[in-house]
Amino acid sequence: MLEFNYHRGGIIYMEKQKNNNKTYLLITLGVLGAIMLTLGLTYAYWRLTREQTNENVVTTACLDVEIESQQDDINLQKAFPVEDSEGEKLQPFKFTIHNKCQDYANFQINLESMEMNGDIEVPEDERLNPKYLKFKLNEVEQNGITRLLTGSKEDDTAKVTPTITNAYDAHKLMSGYIEPNGSKNFEFRLWMDGETMAEETDSMNKTLVSKISVTSTYLDVDKLPPTVELALSVCEKDITVNIIGTPTGNKSIKKYEYKIDNNGWQDGSEVNEILNQSTGSHTIKARVTDNLGIVSEEVEQQIEIINKEPEMVEIAGMQLPIAICKNGLYKVEHNDLEELGQEWNKTEYRYAGVNYTSREAPYVHNYVEFNNEKWQIIGLVNVKTESGVEQRVKIIRTDEGQTDFGNYAWDYNVKNNWVEATLKNMLNGIYYESGSGDCYIAEHTGWTSEPSKCDFSGNGYEAKGLDEEARQMIDSEVIWNIGGSNQVSTTMVEKLYEDERGTITYEGNPAEWTKDNDEAYHNGIGLIYLSDYGYATSGGLIGRKECLTKELEEWGRYYSKKECSLNDWLLSSSSEIIGTLTTFQKVNNSYTVGGFGDIYSPNSGGISNTIDVYPVAYLIKDIKITGGTGEFNSPYQLSVN
Whole-angstrom distance, CA of residue 190 vs CA of residue 401: 56
Contact 568, 540 (CB under 8 A): no
More confident residue, 316 or 556: 316
Whole-angstrom distance, CA of residue 564 vs CA of residue 576: 17
Give residue-wise pLDDT tens across range 472-508.
999 999 999 999 988 665 678 988 998 999 898 998 8
Whole-angstrom distance, CA of residue 286 vs CA of residue 242: 9
For the entire predicted model, the pTM comes to 0.60
Task: Calculate the average pLDDT of the chain.
Answer: 77
DSSP for residue 434: T
Among residues 340, 228, 338, the alpha carbon closest in space to that of 284 is found at 228
Give residue-wise pLDDT tens across range 127-165.
888 888 888 888 876 767 788 888 877 777 789 999 888
Does the pLDDT of residue 67 top 70, yes or no?
A: no
Per-residue b/e over 57-95, b at no fewer than 16 CB within 10 Å? Answer: ebebeebbbbbbbeeeebebebebbbebeebbebebbbb
**What residue ranges define each of the domains in the chain, with the CATH number in brackets?**
12-219 (no CATH), 223-305 (2.60.40.10), 407-466+477-615 (no CATH)
**Quick one: pLDDT at residue 608?**
66
**Quick one: pLDDT at residue 357?**
67
Quick one: average pLDDT of 580-597? Answer: 85
DSSP for residue 490: G
Does the pLDDT of residue 372 top 80, yes or no?
A: yes
Quick one: average pLDDT of 460-482? Answer: 93
CB atoms within 10 A of CB 458: 11
Where does the pLDDT of residue 37 fall: very low under 50, low under 70, confident under 90, or very high at 90 and above? Answer: very low
* φ, ψ for residue 343, nearest 5 deg: -65, -20
**Quick one: pLDDT at residue 246?**
84
DSSP letters along 122-177, please? --GGGBPPGGGEEEEEEETTS--EEEETTBSSS-BTTB----STTEEEEEEEEEEE
**Quick one: pLDDT at residue 235?**
60
Among residues 554, 544, 422, the alpha carbon closest in space to that of 488 is found at 554
Give residue-wise pLDDT tens across range 280-310.
788 888 888 988 888 888 888 877 776 667 7
Mean pLDDT lowest among 206-220, 276-290, 487-501, 547-561: 547-561
More confident residue, 360 or 279: 279
Where does the pLDDT of residue 201 fall: very low under 50, low under 70, confident under 90, or very high at 90 and above? Answer: low
Give me the percent of the chain exceeding a pLDDT of 90: 26
Residue 191's identity, in one-letter code, is W
Residue 100's identity, in one-letter code, is K
Contact 12, 215 (CB under 8 A): yes
Where does the pLDDT of residue 76 fall: very low under 50, low under 70, confident under 90, or very high at 90 and above? Answer: very low
